[in-house]
Amino acid sequence: MTRASPEPAPGAAALTCAEVLRAAILLDGPVPISHFMAAANAHYYATRDPLGTAGDFVTAPEISQMFGEMIGLWLADLWDRAGRPPCRYVELGPGRGTLAADALRAMKTAGLVPPVHFVETSPLLAAAQAERVSGASRHAILADVPDDLPLLVVANEFFDALPIRQLIRAAGGWRERHVGLVDGLFLPTVGGPPLDAILPDALRDAAPGSIVETCPAAAAVARLLGERLAARGGAAIVVDYGYSGPAVGETLQAVSRHAPANPFEAPGERDLTAHVDFAMLAEAARAGGAETHGPLAQGEWLRRIGIEARAAALANRPDRTAEIVAALARLTAPDQMGALFKALALTAPGWPHPEGFA
Ligand SMILES: C[S@@+](CC[C@H](N)C(=O)[O-])C[C@H]1O[C@@H](n2cnc3c(N)ncnc32)[C@H](O)[C@@H]1O
């Protein structure tokens, strides 16, 4: 006899992310920050399109077509100088697919029309991507992308969404920061075994209360990227906000309706991010076998690869001049996205030097 799988009762509401996390904490105690962040972001991205002025935040490709076009031309230039091998275009966390559509259009002008692979966990955003880029394959993880050809990889504001762990210097030494429940509210707590031995020497004596962040998920993706590039060839560009660690400081943050919000309130309803440690990403990619270039401030990189010429061409149309001038400033000015955001390039050994990096 086969047993039918139980159907949810008609009209039964799914549990909210907060309810699921509350139950987990009540059953098994406080959860690491990484568990809280992973659960919150999985729910958040699965249930909404957060991008754009009507959403929670705006990303560079949603500001202007120039961003994706410059990335497409940069990749096409590398591919051309590498001898025009067959390649795959891979984008990690492609959002609405806007960057990919702009990059692929620019690549086509250079004769590069690669098969497209999106690494995306949100079914809702995958549907938006399919509207802008037809024929792309979707994968939940990078490891599922075929490993037969060189890869041309793009990751814009992907790594900042991956779950971080936080270590805090508590009274008895370094411990992991968790999230517990106090009077029904999610609040950070300190728990777990002593972790002093894994702190870099430079940080171990930081003042009591200091927080150090680490992102094993980002390191794993960067290492795999390095391995893939070293094995088959190709290049990657990672753009995000971040710093070069190791460093002391808490960067976990939430944004809702374009304003900062409490990261421990309303899990699954706010975008949770942390600044990316570019030194760690580069080290992991090099450990995988890739060469790394940068990080370099986004504004400087875009200027070096010619965004001002592209802006001048687009601004030639009088009805677009003001929009293009404003978008150029937003993407490149140091007091806007130009300095906070950084670009890190990875290349396969033997591939040409990437444009814009010293
Ligand atoms: C901040 S959005 C950036 C979107 C796009 N790159 C852009 O610049 O507009 C983060 C993207 O990463 C995806 N994402 C978040 N966590 C992910 C994960 N663990 N694996 C794959 N995709 C993820 C989200 O669904 C979304 O597409």
Ligand 1 pocket test: which of 121, 160, 241 has the largest number of ligand atoms within 8 Å of its C-beta? Answer: 121
Task: Find the CATH number of the domain harbouring 83.
Answer: 3.40.50.12710
The answer to whether residues 224 and 119 touch, using CB atoms and an 8 Å cutoff, is no
The answer to whether residues 241 and 275 touch, using CB atoms and an 8 Å cutoff, is yes
Ligand 1 pocket test: which of 37, 41, 120 has the largest number of ligand atoms within 8 Å of its C-beta? Answer: 120
Examine residue 332 and state whether it is found in any structural domain, yes or no: yes
Ligand 1 atom 2 nearest Cα = 95
Ligand 1 atom 1 nearest Cα = 157
pLDDT by 10-residue block (mean), the chain, 358 residues: 54 87 97 98 96 95 98 98 98 98 98 98 97 98 98 98 98 95 96 92 95 98 98 98 96 97 97 98 98 98 98 96 97 98 98 97
Examine residue 245 and state whether it is found in any structural domain, yes or no: yes
| Residue 243 CB contacts under 8 Å (≥ 6 apart), including other chains | 251, 275, 276, 277, 278
280, HSE (Cβ side, Cα atoms, 13 Å): 20
Ligand 1 atom 16 nearest Cα = 161
Examine residue 151 and state whether it is found in any structural domain, yes or no: yes
**Cα of 322 to ligand 1 centre, how many Å?**
30
Element holding 175 (H helix, E strand): strand 173-182
Examine residue 8 and state whether it is found in any structural domain, yes or no: no
Ligand 1 shell residues, CB under 6 Å:
41, 45, 51, 59, 61-62, 93-95, 99, 119-122, 125, 156-158, 161-162
Ligand 1 atom 19 nearest Cα = 162
Count of structural domains within the chain: 1
**pLDDT at residue 242, as a whole number:** 96
Q: Sign of the C-alpha dihedral, residues 266, 157, 121, 100?
A: positive
- Name the pTM for this structure: 0.96
Examine residue 256 and state whether it is found in any structural domain, yes or no: yes
Examine residue 35 and state whether it is found in any structural domain, yes or no: no
**pLDDT at residue 8, as a whole number:** 57
159, HSE (Cβ side, Cα atoms, 13 Å): 31
| Residue 78 CB contacts under 8 Å (≥ 6 apart), including other chains | 152, 235, 347, 351, 352, 354, 355
Ligand 1 pocket test: which of 158, 221, 271, 331 has the largest number of ligand atoms within 8 Å of its C-beta? Answer: 158
Q: Which domain holds residue 323?
A: 46-163+214-347
Q: Which atom of ligand 1 is nearest to the CA of 45?
A: 25
- Residue count of the chain, please give it: 358
**pLDDT at residue 13, as a whole number:** 77
Examine residue 139 and state whether it is found in any structural domain, yes or no: yes
| Rounded Cα–Cα distance for residues 64 and 141 (Å) | 28
Examine residue 133 and state whether it is found in any structural domain, yes or no: yes
Ligand 1 atom 14 nearest Cα = 93
**pLDDT at residue 11, as a whole number:** 63
Produce one character per residue of 348-357: b if its CB has 16 or more CB atoms within 10 Å, e if not: beebeebbbb
